[in-house]
Amino acid sequence: MIKELIVMKKLAFVVLLSSFSSLYTVPVQALKSPSNSQYDHRIRYITYNEADVVQIETVLGVATHIILEEGEQYITHAFGDSEAYAFAHKGRHIFIKPKAELANTNLIVVTDKRSYKFRLQFRNDRAGSTYELAFHYPDSNDEKSEENNRRLAIEHGFHQSVKGYNLSYTMSGHQDIAPINAWDNGRITYFKFPANMDMPSIYVVDAEGNESLIPRTVIGSSNDIIAVHKVNPKWLIRLGKRALAVFNEAYDPNGVPNTTGTVSSVVYRINKGGK
């Protein structure tokens, strides 16, 4: 009976130890080693992860160049051993170089966008040292792609036709400020100009010859198209002292009403604050 009690106590103690060990399991350290360039193994790349510590191999007499995201700006840094390394920065470029042998320490860099954690591992041979380390940012690239898709969708909306294009336009006046062509879609009038030309002012001319400016939008991949929120029988283009009259020879007085507040039938203007 006594032996059975001793065995049971031992089993209970083992179970208790197992429970503690499962509760206090040491997490795996997230140390990340960069990938080598296919052209030179001393040039390396790595995907940014805020939870990773990135290892950099350093060697005496060799500087390491760290390249951050375009537009990213350095704020501050800290070494575990500040006497072991020289540090310099310019914009998104960071440079480090060991000042003594066995310079094993860590480095933290803080920018206006992120924080970086490095483990600096000293090596005796130059063959395995890191000359350059460039970061890749998948989240940032996804945001840029989404923003580009939104821009293209809006651009497409501005060019969308309502009922076909009217190309029946004639011009009279200073031809050196003339658009390459002019057209409308029954609601919006477009004027396309040479890419190297200063954008002129465009006035709508009423039946009595009065001129007035109206809202316009500059569009096109080269920002060379002026889209005005109206279709009219006559326009006047002015640049300095030069003037050019543009006539809509197929003007439709009925036109198409503008219900969006922009030059697009699918892009809407939102008024904030009741203005």
DSSP label at residue 28: P
Can you give the pLDDT at residue 38? 72
All structural domains of the chain with their residue ranges: 31-136, 138-275
Task: Determine contact, residues 94/59, Cβ cutoff 8 Å.
Answer: no
Pick the CATH number of 31-136 from 1.10.1740, 1.25.40, 2.60.40, 2.30.30: 2.60.40
Q: Of the candidates 186, 274, 164, which has an alpha carbon nearest to the alpha carbon of residue 230?
A: 186
Looking at residue 160, what is its pLDDT? 52
Q: Which CATH architecture has domain 138-275?
A: Sandwich (2.60)
Residue 155: pLDDT over 70: no
CB-side exposure of 235: number of CA atoms within 13 Å? 32
Residue 24 one-letter amino acid: Y
How are strands ordered across the β-sheet holding 211-213?
169-173, 242-248, 234-239, 201-205, 211-213
pTM above 0.85, yes or no: no
The arithmetic mean of pLDDT across residues 228-257, rounded, is 90
Per-residue model confidence as pLDDT tens digits over 74-118: 999 999 999 999 999 998 999 999 998 889 999 999 999 999 999
Give pLDDT tens digits for 180-193.
999 998 889 999 99
Q: Classify strands 93-98 and 132-136 as parallel, antiparallel or unpaired.
A: unpaired
On the question of pLDDT at 273 being above 80, the answer is no
pLDDT of residue 189: 94
In the predicted model, what is the mean pLDDT of residues 52-76?
Answer: 93
**CA 110/CA 57 separation, integer angstroms:** 21
Band (174; pLDDT cuts 50, 70, 90): very high
Q: Kindly tell me if the per-residue pLDDT of 255 is higher than 80.
A: no
Q: Residue 268 has what pLDDT?
A: 52
